[in-house]
Structure 1
Amino acid sequence: MVASELSSVQTRPIDFVCNSEARRVMNKVKDLQEEMKDCGAVDALPSSIQLQCVGIHKPTWERKSVHEWRAEILLSLGTLAQDVRSARTLSQPGCRLNLLERLERSINNYLHVVRLLHIEQGEQVVPQAERCLGQPSKDLGLVLKNFGRLLTGKLEWLIAEMAKGC
């Protein structure tokens, strides 16, 4: 399943960390946004998706350990995957269903890679992440934008810290 949309990219976590091109190719948000435009009026979802907190308050974020960053990102991705799955099961066959399937697959790819990231430094106990949720939304365009910001924000901060070992 992880390699389902990663035809030319190695799916090893070290490649994800050390190769920005692999991350760029893996990020399907822009493709999904373009496909959504081509589909027409598919942005209204059958159920709400809880938007994740994607903003970073730099002083607070920097006080957290890399383990806490990963736990927070995993919680955000897991919650998003669950909500997208719920919306997908309520969708009729067609363009929106296809978009939700691809979005869910993309989120699950990220979940898989982030779970496998090997973090050596600091504590080995996985901390309990704070649940930080924004507003619920039935707007697929807003969900995609929020997911993209999670990837280019919090996830890239984690990767930048881990890439120091490349």
Structure 2
Amino acid sequence: MELNRLLLLLTIFLLRMDLSEMSPTRLVCDRRLIQKYIAEAMDLEEKVSQCGELPSLQQPVQLPMVGFSLREWMAKTNQDKGQETLRDLANLVDGTAAAQNQLSRGCALPLLQQLYEKASSFLLQLRNFGWQEQNPTTRPESGSPLISERNLRTIFGTYKQLVRGKLHFLFHDLWKDSCSVGDRQRAANPAALQPPSLTTLRGH
């Protein structure tokens, strides 16, 4: 089952992502990419809000609580930040897949599929950094807690908050540490280099 899931994610990744975006370096050094993903996450949430009344899931799905303290985040290493974000993405992908399995039709179903593909692509790209290959004993103990959720809209809100919050901050930290001055100048975009407001960091 795990091999089938990995093959499915790889297929999605190759179909949905431009080959030039597969490079971890470009992922963090071209600041336009994270802004693109933030815009896509917000667009998905807007589209699902236009679906009208949505059915509640028969069985709750497990979603990560992705709000975080900026002070605690800044105290972590990039390694710990990357591993924590990977776990949040993996849990979100699993929760989205579980929600899809409960739907056979409706306005939210194709949007859930889009979210699943985008989150899965992010997951594969972040794994290119090799964080998941580290010794498990070095991983931070405090992962994001999970909550049981039946509301479909919460899945989209969680993804948006994760992209605007932890992912955005992680990419910003990696950008400072990994990208050359030339990369920074070529990707210069004052709006993109500003981290999201602190009001987006807390809550679910």
| Coarse TM-score class (shorter-chain normalised) | 0.7 to 0.9
How far apart are the structure 2 equivalents of 1:8 and 1:118?
19
- CA deviation profile, 1:24-48 (whole Å, cap 9, x unmatched): 2234212212221333223633432
Cα distance, 1:69 vs. partner? 0.7
- CA deviation profile, 1:60-96 (whole Å, cap 9, x unmatched): 2222211111111111111111111111111112322
**Counterpart position of 1:16:** 27
- TM-score, length basis structure 1: 0.82
Structure with more of its chain in strand, by fraction:
1
How far apart are the structure 2 equivalents of 1:160 and 1:43?
37
User: What is the total number of aligned residue pairs between the two structures?
Assistant: 162
1:75 to 65, 78, 87: 87
Contact 2:63–2:91, Cα closer than 8 Å, also in 1: no
Q: Could you tell me which runs of 5 or more consecutive residues in structure 2 were left unpaired when the two chains were aligned.
A: 1-11, 180-204
Change beyond 3 A, Cα 1:154–1:98: same
**Counterpart position of 1:138:** 150
Larger Rg: 2
SS at match of 1:44: coil
Give the counterpart letter for 2:26 in structure 1. Answer: D
- TM-score, length basis structure 2: 0.69
How far apart are the structure 2 equivalents of 1:9 and 1:30?
24
Which one is further off, 46-55 or 87-96? 46-55
Alignment of 1:55 onto 2:67: yes
Contact 1:81–1:104, Cα closer than 8 Å, also in 2: yes
Change beyond 3 A, Cα 1:56–1:44: same
Which one is further off, 54-63 or 140-149? 54-63
Change beyond 3 A, Cα 1:19–1:46: farther
How far apart are the structure 1 equivalents of 2:96 and 2:44?
14
Give the counterpart letter for 1:99 in structure 2. Answer: L
How far apart are the structure 1 equivalents of 2:19 and 2:34?
12
Identical aligned residues as a percent: 23
Change beyond 3 A, Cα 1:74–1:43: farther
